[in-house]
Amino acid sequence: MIERWITVTLVVAGYLAVSLLVGWISGRRASDTVTGYVAGDRGFGLLVMYFVMGAMMFSAFAFLGTPGWAYSRGGAAFYVLSYGLLGFAPWYFLGPWVARVGRSFGFVTQAELLSHRFRSTTLSVLIATVSIIAFVPYIALQMKGAGIVFNAVTDGRVPIWAGALAAYAVVMLYVLKSGVLGVGWTNTFQGIFMLVVAWALGLWLPAHLYGGVGEMFSRIAQQRPELLTPPGLDATGAPWGWGAYSSAILVSAIGVTMWPHLFMKAFAAKDDDTIKLTMVFYPTFMLFLLPLFFIAFAGVLFETAPPAPDFILPHMILSTNVAPVVVGLFCAGALAASMSTGDAMLHAAASIYVQDMHRRVFDRDLGDHGRRHLIRVTAVLVGIASFYIAVNTRMSLVALLLSAYGAIVQLAPITVAAFFWRRATAPGTIAGLLVGSLVTLFLFWYPEFRPFGLHEGIVGLSLNCLTLWLVSRLTQPLPEPHVNEFIETSRRSA
């Protein structure tokens, strides 16, 4: 009789093969240009846009980190639902503005847009640096999640590093071959797959263990009521402060809006209506987080405990003696969540380095072919750095996520100023970004200095805004015709 872990591995191998096939084939329609590789020739329709946007939320963090937090910290995990709904709302308006400017001036990255608005190469390099610093822990989160799943479902036979390597070797292959089209179409396949798996598990586990979702929560309310009361618990098991809870929502909601690969997907959209419709339908994606909460709370009353909170979902699956094929499908669903986010970020980080740093500083004459080649090389290097962090860090998946948001949220004042404040200057944006980033980094390493328990990114953001305003008021404004052209282009209907 075939051992369970072998069957699981075969099912997962089949899923990885299909993902690779979808990603490999989908890039054949793209032109042999940087616009084709990075922005998909600006041809993404509603279906692909919906799942690409959804993949930003439905990651290894959602599939493993959210259940881990809900299991160990209860209501603290509700912050995920809050920021997920809030984060994309501004894109109903901002997305079309970004897309119009991108089409008009040929931009394919966020830093290209902002450095053009403020006429600053220095700003382009700084934005690229902050973006990549934020991307690496987020990609590491996805890799670590993939490794955790492999390790758990094979009873420890596949170490975390080997599982992460196997999943992301596939990701790397289709990202290198097909660029953003590979990302888009694999996200669509992976999105449909993981949503089916999440709902099936989310409804089956509570019913199998406790007789239903309602009965499960009734028992938790009697035995562990503190887990159902926001803002839940902190990492030590003590009540989490409202300042920390609220600032986690705020930094994440603003950070979602600022992710560079979100700008890149706006540049890839077929038209403005595609972006608006995606934002209208996007809240439905948050419904698919609900079954993950059901799974997590099912673990609260489970008879045995996982080795760490992030392992709660695979731990329960393996402890209920379900068929090996079902375990394999769960594993594939979790990998889909990880890969559908990690691929977009690998592609974005490499594209940003080449477009916004290398081309601006080291080789201004680098052509399309050279840029495409360098993007591929950079993707491999970013993947290696992320892999190193994934297999060596002891941070939880949610902690990795919040550290990434603390960095990326510092781009918000520049973006808001670009579209809404004509008086903003390049020195103001540069000074604000530097101050905000350095303060955030300091408070990340020395959390005891955070005022009122606030997230370090929110403290940095506040000082970022103040510095941008003050320095802009003291420095020479940009030429009025240039600023007017940018803002009028963004508001002009297609």
CATH of the domain at 271: 1.20.1730.10
Tokens 């598990």 belong to which residue? 201
Show the domain range for 218. 4-412
User: What is the reported pTM?
Assistant: 0.76
Helix axes 110-118, 260-268, angle to 10 degrees: 90
- The pLDDT, as a whole number, for residue 427 is 95
What are 47-82's pLDDT values in tens digits?
777 777 776 666 666 777 778 888 888 888 888 888
485 lies in a domain? no
**pLDDT mean over 204-228:** 89
Q: Would the pLDDT of 360 be above 80?
A: no
15 lies in a domain? yes
Q: Which residue has the higher pLDDT, 396 or 215?
A: 215
- The pLDDT, as a whole number, for residue 216 is 92
Q: Would the pLDDT of 468 be above 90?
A: yes
Neighbours of 119 (CB within 10 A): 13
484 lies in a domain? no
100 lies in a domain? yes
138 lies in a domain? yes
- The band of 478, judged by pLDDT with boundaries at 50, 70 and 90, is very high
CB 110 within 8 A of CB 259: no
- The pLDDT, as a whole number, for residue 394 is 67
Picking from 3, 8, 70, the residue whose alpha carbon sits closest to that of residue 333 is 8
Assign 36 to helix, strand or coil.
helix
Average pLDDT, rounded, for the chain? 82
462 lies in a domain? no
What are 91-116's pLDDT values in tens digits?
888 888 988 988 888 888 888 899 99
CB 80 within 8 A of CB 64: no
Q: Which residue has the higher pLDDT, 95 or 189?
A: 95
**pLDDT mean over 323-351:** 79
What are 222-264's pLDDT values in tens digits?
988 888 888 888 777 777 888 888 888 888 888 888 888 788 8
* Alpha-carbon span 131 to 126, nearest angstrom: 8
461 lies in a domain? no
CB 136 within 8 A of CB 365: no
* Alpha-carbon span 210 to 294, nearest angstrom: 12
26 lies in a domain? yes
Query: What does each C-alpha distance from 23 to 17, 178, 195, 224, 297 come to in angstroms?
Result: 10, 7, 19, 45, 35
- The pLDDT, as a whole number, for residue 33 is 65
- The band of 429, judged by pLDDT with boundaries at 50, 70 and 90, is very high
Q: What is the dihedral of CA 370, 375, 376, 379, to 10 degrees?
A: 160
Number of domains in the chain: 1
* Alpha-carbon span 84 to 267, nearest angstrom: 22
Neighbours of 131 (CB within 10 A): 28
